[in-house]
């Protein structure tokens, strides 16, 4: 376990339990706007197998709280492709590591219905609460026909194959400010920040 806290901001603070710096940067972008300081708590939190992101995130945050006794948020996200009956769903991370974007595009070959939804669940718990509270955000969009990302960029998860509605760019083609206008994670953290203040 290691953590770093952004101490420039005054006021409330929270720890975000994650090992994913991309997720952390999105959260910091949103929470910073609301003047909520956020520290990255680099721990591997327990994730249960469930089709409910809310259930996964709530279980994780309780377990992390029990260990560290800090005000903690945990985020769980999933990509739900309509024509694939919700696959890869909450198991997006494992699916990404194994079959990757190329696997999703292969499964979607010749399929016209390309509708997909990214969902995010942000769960918070601290000693002030009796049970965790959860905020959800969604981003509706389409699976692209091919990977779209700037050559110099690594891309994060399924961002290169997801184009949110009402934009012409895939997530991977946006900078962090643009992405936070459309992203499921930003939407969930925005709800959390509003409540937290």
Span from 18-26, 81-89, 172-180, 183-191 in contact with its own copies (CB under 8 A): 81-89
Contact between 84 and its own copies by CB under 8 A: the answer reads yes
- 63 membership: H or E segment, kind and range: helix 53-68
Active site residue 76: yes
Binding mask 131-170 for its own copies (x = CB under 8 A): ----------------------------------------
d(CA 142, CA 168) in angstroms, rounded, equals 11
CB-nearer residue toward its own copies: 17 or 180: 17
C-beta separation of 135 from 191 below 8 A: yes
Question: Does residue number 109 form part of the binding site for its own copies (CB under 8 A)?
Answer: yes
Interface residue with its own copies among 20, 25, 70, 89 (CB under 8 A) is 89
Cβ density class 83-102: b for 16+ within 10 Å, e for less = ebeebbbbebeebbeeebbe
In the complex, what is the shortest distance from the CB of residue 94 to its own copies, in angstroms, rounded to a whole number? 6
Distance from the Cα of residue 166 to its chain's centroid? 20
**C-alpha–C-alpha distance, residues 137 and 119, integer Å:** 6
Q: Where does this chain touch its own copies (CB under 8 A) — which range of 18-26, 32-40, 43-51, 149-157?
A: 43-51
Q: DSSP 3-state assignment of 74?
A: strand
Footprint of its own copies (CB under 8 A): 46-49, 51, 56, 84-91, 94-95, 97-99, 103, 106-107, 109
Task: Return the active site residues.
Answer: 76
């Amino acid at each position: 376990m290691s953590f770093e806290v952004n101490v420039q901001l005054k006021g409330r603070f929270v720890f975000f339990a994650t090992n994913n710096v991309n997720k952390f940067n999105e959260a910091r972008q949103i929470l910073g706007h609301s003047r909520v300081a956020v520290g990255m708590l680099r721990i591997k939190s327990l994730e249960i197998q469930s089709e409910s992101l809310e259930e996964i995130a709530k279980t994780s945050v309780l377990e992390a709280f029990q260990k560290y006794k800090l005000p903690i948020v945990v985020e769980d996200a999933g990509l739900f492709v309509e024509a694939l009956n919700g696959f890869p769903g909450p198991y997006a991370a494992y699916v990404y590591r194994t079959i990757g974007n190329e696997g999703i595009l292969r499964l979607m070959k010749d399929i016209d219905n390309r509708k997909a939804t990214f969902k995010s669940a942000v769960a918070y718990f601290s000693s002030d609460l009796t049970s965790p509270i959860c905020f959800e955000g969604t981003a509706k969009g389409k699976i692209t026909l091919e990977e779209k990302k700037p050559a110099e960029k690594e891309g994060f998860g399924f961002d290169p194959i997801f184009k949110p509605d009402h934009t012409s760019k895939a997530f991977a083609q946006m900078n962090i400010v643009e992405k936070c206008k459309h992203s499921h994670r930003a939407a969930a953290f925005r709800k959390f920040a509003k409540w937290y203040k």
